[in-house]
Structure 1
């Protein structure tokens, strides 16, 4: 029993010694990190105002800064303000020979700093930025890593609102290219050059969701700019967004089609139902006008015609045409009534004249005169018989289907309604064929 107690006591003592040694080693290791930082960043040893040397320590060569980024989210794309908002993790990497240190036989992989002003930083800025801010919850989302070979990695999380000039001629069947431009503000290409990091310089979060757009692809490129003060290095990312058409199909195109079709109901109502036809025409016209104004309120006042303008303009014209059609029908109906009254008066006058002639013949039936057996060439009865013979001698005309069909409707007002029932849908269907073939073909051509 005593030997067992001795063994446990020795084991416990050894554990305490090993733990204390590990703690001392950690303390010594952190002390070495502190000494390394003091050696490379101590007072009078490093000047953050001086840019690093170029490749292989060449003093006259420009400093090369490699850039990559990770797109975390794209919160909105505003058509009216022509801007978009993006949150990204931005990274820069360069080599500063002055920051080389001993890695303690591979144990010290890198040093981490949270203060950017301790080392030299590239003066990069986003040239098409409107607004931007850093993230400071809970601590500032930024770090600087210094590697033993003098390589410096700078990483920061930022949110930006960037300008995106848009061409809305094909709206809402359009694609938009929004750029993210980064350039040096003060260092020219003789002193500082930005390069895209090789192998996947731009990464995008998986399942990126946008309300009314889809990110189809992105391209990286260079956009060096020359000014009066020199040439400045510039990088850009072009984001190609495709607008989701299903939203606009449900919210704009189908309702407009329904309004146009509802306006055609007026053609099937009785021409005497004036209040019903006027109310239907005015209501559909005002609804279509409200729909058009709501669409234009969400878009900037551009000087060119958009695809949605063509659609709403033609739909508004069809609705207005249906209202004008009723005005024409009403006028034709009144004209038909006026003609019918004139015919009735003419028939009454003819009947009255016939009655008067019959009365005259009855009173003169005892008169002593004889009717001539041979009629003169100018006799009206002879002329009438001659005209009938000419009619029978003429060859029969081929029947016209349209005239035969329209002859079933005796009044002009009814004929106008019947023609409108066929003409309006046919013209609207033809417009749809031309509209969709034109703009869908343009979309494919732009690709």
Structure 2
């Protein structure tokens, strides 16, 4: 055999030996890790019921627990129940001098546990929690890391449904602040203090998506509470959500505007089209009432007036006003028709009387006619009346009134008052509605900026 063949045989056996030594080293390393765990957590050596000492092993100092979290998702924000659901990775870190161990010259970076009951744990709870659960698929999503210096890191993935008291006065032009509060249940501040971890204590996933809200910003703070049994440490995160207005603009505001405008179509219909105008007014009124009830069904019954209540209430008033306008037009039309009929009857009677008198004069051949004077005396009342009329015509012409000029296009005739009511309504209703829109949007949009106290 050649020299090259011997070289490859030697290289093969050397590789097998090195792999075997590496496997033995790993086995030995795992055995050492097990030995370290047994050494610090063995029976009679560590008691998980006893609180760790304070800084530098000081017994009369509290244990400081540093908290941080990673906000994974927000599934929903419920306006009716005033709650929101969140999924997060929650982390706590503290120091327990009893858990120090030899890191084997830096080879053993940390020990990993999956059983939280083997070490002491802070008694933290979420004070505004309604429901919550851990994640156990495929394995429980929890771990505990013990570092050589005795530092303990606890991490767990949880889903929570939290209470979020809301102020809906500006709904749907509002911003809501939802909090996540964490506090100690049994240990007072003399024994346990929660602190936010320095440097980005709260992290939020980049592609966080909410259907009708936008997470604008968040703020970490402290909320220690004092009770009869002592003072308890508390942390909180305030999340500022801005409601997306585009959904409500398409689903509520534009349809309500369309219903109001449709109700104005009756102003352009003839007064005699009673079935068409009545059906149009009643249909728009019922549709607007249904729209209002549907909006209120998705909101909690509160004691104050919301921005959406003002909008729907005014729109409902405009639709109802259009229906009342037709009732007024119909009454005015019948009243004018009755007056016109009475005038016609009176003219007919006067004409009949004149015809009868003319017949009598024609048949009386012996009647004598007196010559009327061509020139009247100054004291004659007829001459004075004509003189006054001439003086009126000689006066300077007044400045024409645009409104009267426009209304003069509809002279006095049958149903003239009803026609004028319709014409005035065609201008008045849109102008008043436009003025309402100006006041509404300017008021609530500016109030939204002023009431932002985050």
Question: Shorter-normalised TM-score: what interval?
Answer: over 0.9
When normalised by structure 2's length, the TM-score is 0.94
Alpha-carbon distance, 1:356 to partner? 2.1
Deviation at 1:363, TM superposition (A): 3.1
The 3 A distance-change label for structure 1 pair 395 and 419 is same
Query: Given the superposition, is the C-alpha separation of residues 351 and 9 from structure 1 closer, same or farther in structure 2, using an over 3 Å criterion?
Result: same
Distance 1:5 1:397 in 2: 128
Cα deviation for residue 12 of structure 1 reads 2.1
**For residues 366 and 110 of structure 1, do their structure 2 counterparts lie closer, same or farther at Cα, with a shift above 3 Å needed?**
same
Aligned mates of 1:9, 1:396 — CA distance in 2: 128
Q: Distance in 1 between matches of 2:66 and 2:33?
A: 27
For the structure 1 residues 368 and 6, does the alpha-carbon distance in structure 2 shift closer, same or farther, using more than 3 Å as the test? Answer: closer
The alignment of Structure 1 onto Structure 2 pairs a total of residues equal to 447
Alpha-carbon deviation of 1:385? 4.8
CA distance in 2, matches of 1:369, 1:18: 156
In structure 1, distance between residues paired with 2:249 and 2:131: 33
Post-superposition offset of 1:50: 0.2
Alpha-carbon distance change, 25 to 330 in structure 1, aligned in 2, over 3 angstroms: same
Query: What is the alpha-carbon distance in structure 2 between the residues aligned to residue 195 and residue 397 of structure 1?
Result: 83
Q: How does 1:224-239 map to 2 (within 5 A)?
A: 224-239=224-239
Deviations 1:302-332 (A, max 9, x none): 0000000000000000011111111111111
Q: Point out where structure 1 has 5 or more consecutive residues left out of the alignment.
A: none
Measured after TM superposition, the shift of residue 360 of structure 1 is 2.7
- How far 1:349 moved relative to its partner? 1.5
Measured in 2, the distance between the counterparts of 1:186 and 1:139 equals 30
CA distance in 2 between counterparts of 1:384 and 1:3 reads 151
Q: Report how far residue 445 of structure 1 moved.
A: 1.2
Shift of the alpha carbon at 1:256?
0.6
Shifted more, 247-256 versus 142-151: the winner is 247-256
Displacement of 1:366: 1.7
CA distance in 2 between partners of 1:415 and 1:369 (Å): 50
Q: 1:77 to 1:348 in 2, by over 3 A?
A: same
Equivalent-residue separation in structure 1 for 2:368 and 2:424 (angstroms)? 62
CA 1:381–1:358: 2 relative to 1, 3 Å? farther
Shift of residue 405, structure 1, vs aligned partner:
1.9
CA RMSD of superposed structures (Å): 1.9
* SS of equivalent to 1:332: helix
Please list the CA deviations of residues 100-147 of structure 1 after superposition, one character each: whole Å capped at 9, or x if unmatched.
Answer: 000000000000000000000000000000000000000000000000
DSSP 3-state at the match of 1:71:
strand
CA deviation digits over 1:33-67, x for unaligned, max 9?
01100010000000000000001110010000000
Distance 1:367 1:377, change over 3 A: farther
Task: State the TM-score, normalized to the length of structure 1.
Answer: 0.96
The alpha carbon displacement at 1:365 in A equals 4.5
* Aligned-residue offset at 1:19: 1.4
Stretch moving more, 178-187 or 262-271: 262-271
User: Is the alpha carbon distance of 1:50 and 1:291 closer, same or farther for their aligned partners in structure 2, counting shifts above 3 Å?
Assistant: same
